[in-house]
Amino acid sequence: MIDLYLASGSPRRRELLGQTGVTFERISAEIDETPLAGETPRDYVLRLAAAKAEAGWAAMLAQGLPAKPLLAADTTVALGDVILGKPVDAFDATRMLKLLSGTTHDVLTGVGLRTADGVDVVLSQSRVTFMSLSDAQIAAYVASGEPMDKAGAYGIQGLGGLFVANLAGSFTGVVGLPLHDTALLLGRHGLGHLAEQA
């Protein structure tokens, strides 16, 4: 018997969620991830985390699956108020990496847990400082293919970690699922290793 559903196709999130002590199954939940006009990166990532959780809950009900809590998350990279999502192609990945080169940026991950009582959402915010990157370094990294399915066009847990000169915040939050915040969220709802004992 599972504890919850995970509305994410990310293998990184699946691996991290397994560390919280819950058993889960993946469920598909697609939403429109286009930012709203004037939306801040913080509001954007919280909205998407909640929307993914609601979409996953609706998919669970539509498929006639046993009702269980449903977890969803969204990660975005923000340079000031500029949202850097997943690159659409190599040119876009190169553009993002040039923007991030030599800067300090925010990585925001919203985590939403949908239960019968509604959606509970938490936010993890980390500050990441990149070294200055040469055109050759950027080209080699883009050619590796790693940037293509990652917010901000880099993966801190892979080759992209070589560019990170400093990190203030949650490493796992930058990867895509902040373990501490997620465990506390689950614990509030009686799930995982940090669940409050009655």
* pLDDT tens, position by position, 13-26: 999 999 998 999 99
Task: List, by residue number, the catalytic residues.
Answer: 74
d(Cα 87, Cα 138) in Å, to the nearest integer?
14
75 in a structural domain: yes
73 in a structural domain: yes
**Can you tell me the mean pLDDT for 136-153?**
96
Instruction: Give the Cβ contact number of residue 143 at 10 Å.
Output: 11
| 194: confidence class by pLDDT, cuts 50, 70, 90 | confident
196 in a structural domain: no
Range of the domain at 42: 4-188
184 in a structural domain: yes
Question: Which pLDDT score, from 0 to 100, does residue 198 have?
Answer: 40
Does the pLDDT value for residue 192 go beyond 90?
Answer: no
183 in a structural domain: yes
Question: Which pLDDT score, from 0 to 100, does residue 9 have?
Answer: 87
Does the pLDDT value for residue 179 go beyond 90?
Answer: yes
* pLDDT tens, position by position, 86-125: 999 999 999 999 999 999 999 999 999 999 999 999 999 9
Provide the strand spans (E) within 45-170.
70-79, 82-84, 104-115, 118-130, 164-168
Does the pLDDT value for residue 142 go beyond 80?
Answer: yes
CATH of the domain at 77: 3.90.950.10
195 in a structural domain: no
d(Cα 69, Cα 191) in Å, to the nearest integer?
9
Looking at the structure of the chain, the number of domains it has is 1
Token duo for residue 85: 């999502």
